[in-house]
Structure 1
Amino acid sequence: MEKNITTLKKISLLAGLLVFATYQSQIKFENGYVINNSGEKQEVLIKNSEWKNNPKEIEYRLSNTSEVKKENTNNIKEFGVGTYRFVREKVKIDRSSLKLTDISEKKEPEFHEETLLLRYLIDGKADLLSYEQDDIRRFFYRVDNSEIKQLVYKNYNIGNGNIAYNEEYKDQISADLKCGITGNEIDNAKYSKKDFVNIFSKFNECSAGSAGSDIKNTDYTAQTTKRDIFNVTIRPGVNSSSLSIGNDNLRVRNTDFDSELNFRIGVEFEYIFPFNKNKWSAFVEPTYQSYKSSKEVSFDGGFSSILTATRSVEYSSIEVPIGIRHYFFLNDQSKFFVDFAYVIDFSSKKSHIDLEYDNHLNISSGNNIALGVGYKYNDRFSAEFRYLSPRSFLDDYVYWQSEYKTISLVLGYTLF
């Protein structure tokens, strides 16, 4: 019962720190504009979430001190903030699925007219726009302010488990973008933002040169500041670990080893996702950890005798947490974070538990999960409190159970 209460306290502490981090994190609003459906333009401060999906609503305020308002994008004709510009247009879109179980048998696109919020990628003589929502990603274009059309790409089923590809977008580019684009570039172009941005930018530059005038060629995908997308961090720390073992047939073997403090060291590799203002990341952190403890126990030896023995454990392993992290920005230098990871454990061959009468148990690998909350300063120094769920590593034995518990204090220094 006491152990359960202690575990609940640890979880409550994590939850409390998460709530505090969420409450303390400040939302950044940047200069932007909104045009409503009546064509009225208003300069406002917009929360720039660097949207991965085309947003269904935005948050904005009229000034730094005014209240935050939310507006459904159905009520907005256009808005812009930072390098993001969205316009709401009536277009024909093919929503054919790319999932193998739902692929259409028709080669031709199955268009439906919808009013969508499209993101501008390139604005010039030829405009490039995109629509992204969950597993749907479509690109659109127009030349000289003509009708907006979808660049067509579609997988379709031709039977017997075979898939064919309609790459009509290559014919569309060849027909409508005739300046500065080679046939080889079109043939090699994938249905991707990177390739399309390159092609449309080259066309607009060529068109400006041919016309002898400054034709607009705005690239909304260009970053004004260099992104830090990959971090390597040295992460030393201290583990507080304990171990309990039990045997269903021989309860006298049940042992609760004491909590011990042990050094741990890891190297974390973190990838920052290029959306939502660098708030999400994935990480992997190979870590060395160890635990060593001994316990003197007394038990009934039969014939009214009490025996004493010393039981000990030596355990070391390489843990590999693989997880996701979310940041809560306080300002340009400070941020809280929470993370969740699945921990794969590789125990050393020398890990074992010694019992009385020269009996011993070999420790095998056991996996678990980790929950953490921490703080990072100046993208360089960090500290994290991490809770690891109980781990079992005596599963090779039928009647034995084990519960290895750890909480950690982890410091970090980001090399780059």
Structure 2
Amino acid sequence: MKYLIRIVIPILFLNPTESFGQVEFEKGYFLDAEGKRVECLIKNLGWFENPTSFDYKLNESSEILTRTISNTKVFAIGTEVKYKKYIVEVDLSSDNVDELTADKNPSFTEKEVFLRQLIEGELNLFNYIEGNVQRFFISNEEIEPTQLIYKRYRVDAFNVGVNNKYKGQLKYLFTCGDKISTQNISYAKSSLLNYVKKVYECKGLKYQQYRESNSGLFNAKVKLGYRITSHTIETERGSGGFGSNIISEDLDASNGPVFGLEFEYTLPFMKNKLSIPLNVIYQSASYEKSDTELYPNDHTFRMEYSSIEIYPSIRYNYFLNKSSSLGFSAGFVMDLILNDLNQLEITDGTKPVVLDDPFFETNSASNFILAANFKSGNYYAEISYGLNRNLSNFSSNWNSKYSYLNFIVGYTIFTSK
């Protein structure tokens, strides 16, 4: 087990960008400061916040160049991404309750930004994200992009008010008579998009929507694997202080199968690179060892332990091609014990005596886990390492170090957007 760990841990921390390429440059174009259109390949980072620059290549074999907001009017990637440069008045007031002020009016700051275009037509809808603040803008042939006003403010120590002026702005600038109400629109991307599209359809007008194809992917996998464990028991012998000795015993490995499910949600930005998996795994282990250093008399130590491990993780995916990827993740395991047995059987007399010492009780515990995986289509393979987990009763002088190495295969049984 220890030799395997020395091999696996460097693999889990390998920087794959040094060894593997990714599909990042996609067909697009930009307009320079004079409005000249240049066809190129743009590095699509799936930006969460609005960028101020981007990398591009004129062709597959050319060098990587960079353009900034200072020398670019527009850049776009297919029908997924389009950013336009504007000088706008934007309110960046925080929406966090602890940071709200008593002023219900927006506090505008003039900024030169790339606004992300969501809908293009008679009415244009944009969004802008900076930090944890998201703002939406609208424009038409007569007005430049103007922020849709939404601001939460402090009424008193216990109440929060909301300035929903954006509803009136939409009703004034883009409506279809009384057929579509602005009353139930929330200040959220999906709600605003839904309203604008309904008005376009009501008026019989054409529009262009820019949207990424990877908006919020969910999948579920079945997983089956083999676990190699390492389990060390420690106890303190003596009266404490300088007269005490720490006795340690490595139990024989209890290797066996593990199985369970993984539910994974891919975040709707960064081009499917960031996801949040939730694993539910069943494992079982048993140990038996005679005449250890843990107890002075002749004895046999027995331990049985089964549990459900539940662990959320954060995973970063590196795409090798359109159907294959490498993933690297870290998670926190919560261990729910189903069954446990811890016994010392004293065998130095004529009749064996079994001690069910409450100090040996196995506790539900937690640990961190590191994993690397390879995915191709619906097929999945994973190596993961669970760091030390203390299974002993924390009120006792017994200490248990349980770690493990998993080799897992899986298959995607469900995918939905």
TM-score by length of 1: 0.89
Distance 1:252 1:139 in 2: 63
| Shift of residue 152, structure 1, vs aligned partner | 0.2
Contact 1:238/1:263 (<8 A) preserved: yes
Is 1:187 equivalent to 2:183 in the alignment?
A: yes
Distance 1:275 1:355 in 2: 58
Distance 2:333 2:40 in 1: 45
What's the counterpart of residue 143 of structure 1?
Answer: 140
Residues 46 and 241 of structure 1: is their aligned pair in 2 closer, same or farther, counting only changes over 3 Å? same
Contact 1:79/1:87 (<8 A) preserved: yes
Per-residue deviation, residues 162-194 of structure 1 (Å, max 9, x unmatched):
1100000011111112325646x3000001111
Percent identity over the alignment is: 30
| Shift of residue 22, structure 1, vs aligned partner | 5.4
Distance 1:181 1:43 in 2: 44
Contact 1:289/1:316 (<8 A) preserved: yes
Residues 182 and 23 of structure 1: is their aligned pair in 2 closer, same or farther, counting only changes over 3 Å? farther
Give secondary structure in 1 for the equivalent of 2:237.
Answer: coil
The residue identity in structure 2 corresponding to 1:188 is: N
The residue identity in structure 2 corresponding to 1:37 is: A
| Shift of residue 10, structure 1, vs aligned partner | 3.8
Is 1:65 equivalent to 2:69 in the alignment?
A: no
Q: 1:155 aligns with which of 145, 152, 157?
A: 152
What's the counterpart of residue 290 of structure 2?
Answer: 296
Residues 31 and 10 of structure 1: is their aligned pair in 2 closer, same or farther, counting only changes over 3 Å? closer
What's the counterpart of residue 212 of structure 1?
Answer: none
Per-residue deviation, residues 7-36 of structure 1 (Å, max 9, x unmatched):
555422322xx3246531323321100112
The residue identity in structure 2 corresponding to 1:283 is: P
Contact 1:124/1:218 (<8 A) preserved: yes
What's the counterpart of residue 263 of structure 2?
Answer: 269
Per-residue deviation, residues 264-298 of structure 1 (Å, max 9, x unmatched):
00111111111111111111111110111211225
| Shift of residue 247, structure 1, vs aligned partner | 1.1
| Shift of residue 122, structure 1, vs aligned partner | 0.9
The residue identity in structure 2 corresponding to 1:13 is: I
What's the counterpart of residue 387 of structure 2?
Answer: 389
Contact 1:180/1:206 (<8 A) preserved: no
| Shift of residue 68, structure 1, vs aligned partner | 2.0
Is 1:373 equivalent to 2:372 in the alignment?
A: yes
Q: Any unmatched runs of 5+ in structure 2? A: 239-244, 347-352
The residue identity in structure 1 corresponding to 2:233 is: I
Contact 1:126/1:203 (<8 A) preserved: no
The residue identity in structure 2 corresponding to 1:344 is: M
Contact 1:243/1:256 (<8 A) preserved: yes
Is 1:415 equivalent to 2:409 in the alignment?
A: no
Contact 1:281/1:324 (<8 A) preserved: yes
Give secondary structure in 2 for the equivalent of 1:79.
Answer: strand
The residue identity in structure 1 corresponding to 2:86 is: E
Is 1:173 equivalent to 2:167 in the alignment?
A: no
Q: 1:244 aligns with which of 232, 240, 249?
A: 232
Distance 1:272 1:33 in 2: 27
Distance 1:33 1:78 in 2: 8
What's the counterpart of residue 89 of structure 1?
Answer: 86
Give secondary structure in 1 for the equivalent of 2:19.
Answer: helix
Contact 2:118/2:209 (<8 A) preserved: yes
The residue identity in structure 1 corresponding to 2:308 is: I
Distance 1:411 1:233 in 2: 10
Give secondary structure in 2 for the equivalent of 1:51.
Answer: coil
Contact 1:252/1:299 (<8 A) preserved: no
Q: Any unmatched runs of 5+ in structure 1? A: 210-214
Aligned residue pairs total: 398
Distance 1:237 1:159 in 2: 56
| Shift of residue 300, structure 1, vs aligned partner | 11
Residues 301 and 122 of structure 1: is their aligned pair in 2 closer, same or farther, counting only changes over 3 Å? closer
What's the counterpart of residue 42 of structure 2?
Answer: 46
Per-residue deviation, residues 30-84 of structure 1 (Å, max 9, x unmatched):
1100112232221100122222211232121110111222333343211000311
Map residues 8-407 of structure 1 onto 2, 5 A cutoff: 8-15=6-13, 18-20=14-16, 23-82=19-78, 83-179=80-176, 182=179, 185-207=181-203, 209=204, 216-221=206-211, 229-249=217-237, 254-297=248-291, 308-354=298-344, 356=346, 357-360=353-356, 361-378=360-377, 380-407=378-405
Query: Which is further off, 92-101 or 227-236?
Result: 227-236
Query: Which is further off, 396-405 or 322-331?
Result: 396-405
Distance 2:4 2:252 in 1: 14
Give secondary structure in 2 for the equivalent of 1:204.
Answer: helix
Give secondary structure in 1 for the equivalent of 2:252.
Answer: strand
| Shift of residue 359, structure 1, vs aligned partner | 2.2
